[in-house]
Amino acid sequence: MSRIAYVNGRYVRHLDAAVHIEDRGYQFADGVYEVVTISGGRLIDEAGHLDRLWRSLGELRIVAPMAREPLKMVMREVIRRNGIVNGIIYLQITRGVAPRDHPFPKNATPSLVITARRLPLAKAAKTAAEGVAVITLPDIRWARRDIKSVSLLPNVLAKQEARERGAYEAFLVDEEGMVTEGSSTNAWIVTKDGKIVTRPTGNSILAGITRAALLLELKENGIAFEQRSFSVAELLDAREVFLTSSTSYVLPVVKVDDKVIGNGHPGLVSQKLRALYEKFMARETA
């Protein structure tokens, strides 16, 4: 089955899919995106992702190129045409094509591109069973990290440095020495006295959809948590560390910089929370 992409109203062969060289996404990173997990052929937390997409569009004053219900139909059609059971769908909306000039163009039509691809489940399970390493790096991003903009250069540089240093992710640290989030994940700790902690949402981090789903699961299961900033010192001293994202789910961290966390294996709380999130996913796909 050849891969199919959706580009501005047409389903095209992935190989032939293209936008104009003066698309503002290409020239200014003037656009937003979402990545949604496909599990068992179903979209996980679709409503949360679409809510966030509309919020990002609103913050940048980009008009949605189509209403929510037709967009959901197009997403399903992309999944169907690509025959995807487990994987991800990627949506990108930019301000559209216009002669290069910084101010918003008067007559541009926003561009919508959707792609989907398979992701191997077995590898993810192995990674989760072993746990991953993270490094810490200064957070050099702009001040509106709540907007899911395609402007990801600091995130790209951080992830690359993580990979070059044998780590899965980089946790980013603000000027006060507090952890903001990962380059493409939200950061969590379990303190020595057993408290589950993650940074509150606001302009300094992306409001992760997985983060929100997990917080809801914690609430519903009567598991206490705190939404507050935590320092690098607390991170290194934590009993457990984990991260969340649509593609990583709940992923135990067993090493931060040169410090082994706990006994170097995924902690009990992290494992329990991964299982809770997997149960939530199972309900979404039922």
- List contacts with ligand PMP (CB under 6 A): 35, 181, 184-186, 206, 208-211, 244-246
Would you say 94 or 248 has its CB closer to ligand PMP? 248
148 annotated active-site: yes
The set of residues, in sequence order, having a beta carbon less than 8 Å from that of 259 and lying 6+ positions away, is 236
* Extended beta strands in the chain, E state: 4-7, 10-13, 31-39, 42-43, 87-94, 111-118, 132-138, 169-173, 179-182, 186-190, 196-198, 225-227, 240-245, 249-256, 259-260
Would you say 111 or 210 has its CB closer to ligand PMP? 210
Q: What are 161's two structure tokens? A: 């440095």
Smallest distance from the beta carbon of 162 to ligand PMP, in angstroms?
Answer: 13
Pairing of strands 249-256, 240-245: antiparallel
**Planar angle of CA 190, 193, 197, nearest 5 degrees:** 30
Smallest distance from the beta carbon of 7 to ligand PMP, in angstroms?
Answer: 22
The set of residues, in sequence order, having a beta carbon less than 8 Å from that of 225 and lying 6+ positions away, is 195, 196, 197, 198, 215, 218
Would you say 208 or 266 has its CB closer to ligand PMP? 208
Nearest Cα neighbor of 114 from 246, 237, 19, 215 is 19
Smallest distance from the beta carbon of 184 to ligand PMP, in angstroms?
Answer: 4
Catalytic annotation, pick one of 72, 148, 192, 195: 148
Smallest distance from the beta carbon of 45 to ligand PMP, in angstroms?
Answer: 8
Q: Counting Cβ atoms within 10 Å, is residue 88 exposed (0-12), middle (13-18) or buried (19+)?
A: buried
Would you say 108 or 169 has its CB closer to ligand PMP? 169
Would you say 185 or 271 has its CB closer to ligand PMP? 185
DSSP secondary structure, 24-61, as one string: HHHHH--EEEEEEEEETTEETTHHHHHHHHHHHHHHHT
Smallest distance from the beta carbon of 17 to ligand PMP, in angstroms?
Answer: 22
Supply the residues annotated as catalytic: 148
